Amino acid sequence: MPRIPRLVVTDSGQKTAYHVISRTALDGLPFGKIEKDKLLSIIQRLSAVYVVDVLGFAVMGNHFHLLVEVSPGSMVSDDEVKRRFQLLYGKDMEFPEGLLNDYRERFCSLSAYVKDIKQRFSHYYNKRKNRRGTLWGERFKSVIVQQGNSLIHCLAYIDLNPLRAGIVKRPEDYRWCSIGYHLQTGNNSDFLSLDLGLEDSGTADPLTRLKEYRTFLYQVGSIEKKGKATLSKQVFDEEAANGFELARVRRFRFRTRYFTDSGIIGSKAFVETTYGSFKEKIHATRDKVPKRVKGIEGMYSLKRLADF
């Protein structure tokens, strides 16, 4: 039976939103914390190369979701194509002028973007597990999503995956989904778009937009679904009583993972000095810069040295 052609908007003169889903071919839940972190890092890197805005994501134990807006080639200048080429291959790589349109098409292609993510993660996973063979199941699924009401409901569906699976009691407690990334990292590196499908709300402030979306997410999460976990009434009532503001204590708890996931943590001067003592032993293409731990005044962290 022939494959059904993928529905992809070629060039409408405006961005097109897609919900992407891809599942592993392996049994069980093969993706643990390390694998989820790696897959997310690959998605982040390639999302800077391809002309996409990531609105949401969820990396689960055997599949992942992405909600992205893909820009058409007509919106991308020649200089921008060359800049993204250097992001992918390095500044020392000379750009092949004769392939300008080819790279423009590639960087604006949903299929190329997702294929690159899956291939890079497959290579990492097979090497890590000392295995060969297919990692992913059938080709990824993609759904064109209309801006506005449909988009925000799709984003909520994605962010509620960990809750519906019974993994967490609150959506933001799961760090491998977009609401968790927003609240636990402060949207580090501005990885996620803050439009959130709320263009008609008239709210420009990112924190207010996030609060409005979180309110909506809790309302949707409290609706019972057959065979799926639901946001408990107690949790909903607690959050509603606080006006869906994230309490300072909970903000601090989200930051505490830096104490286990970092390589070095402390003041900026301490991190820089300590890193300097290891610098000669680390094979890194460039110096690592301490990142501020948002929510804890004066505290900085550096990645695990093994990750370099």
261-289 pLDDT, tens per residue?
666 777 888 788 877 766 666 556 667 77
Sheet holding 300-303, edge to edge: 262-266, 300-303, 291-292
Mind listing the domains of the chain with CATH numbers? 16-73+108-253 (3.30.70.1290), 257-307 (no CATH)
Round to whole Å and give the CA distance between 37 and 14: 32
pLDDT mean across residues, the chain: 84
User: pLDDT grade, residue 220 (50/70/90)?
Assistant: confident
Q: Which of 196, 178, 198 is nearest to 188 (CA)?
A: 178
Average pLDDT over residues 55-66: 96
Q: Is the pLDDT of residue 308 over 50?
A: no
SS3 state of residue 182 = helix
Average pLDDT over residues 22-46: 96
Percent of residues, the chain, with pLDDT higher than 90: 49
Q: Which of 45, 214, 291, 170 is nearest to 54 (CA)?
A: 45
Round to whole Å and give the CA distance between 141 and 202: 33
Q: Is the pLDDT of residue 295 over 60?
A: no
1-22 pLDDT, tens per residue?
445 556 677 766 788 889 999 9
Q: Is the pLDDT of residue 59 over 60?
A: yes
Average pLDDT over residues 53-58: 96
pTM more than 0.75: yes
Per the rule left: phi > 0, alpha: psi between -120 and 50, beta: everything else, 225 is beta
User: pLDDT grade, residue 307 (50/70/90)?
Assistant: very low
164-196 pLDDT, tens per residue?
999 999 999 999 999 999 998 889 889 999 876
Least confident of 22-31, 177-186, 292-301: 292-301
pLDDT at 260: 54
Q: Which of 87, 93, 65, 226 is nearest to 154 (CA)?
A: 65
Q: Is the pLDDT of residue 243 over 80?
A: no
Better-scored residue on pLDDT, 198 or 187 = 187
* Residues 104 and 92: beta-carbon distance below 8 Å: no
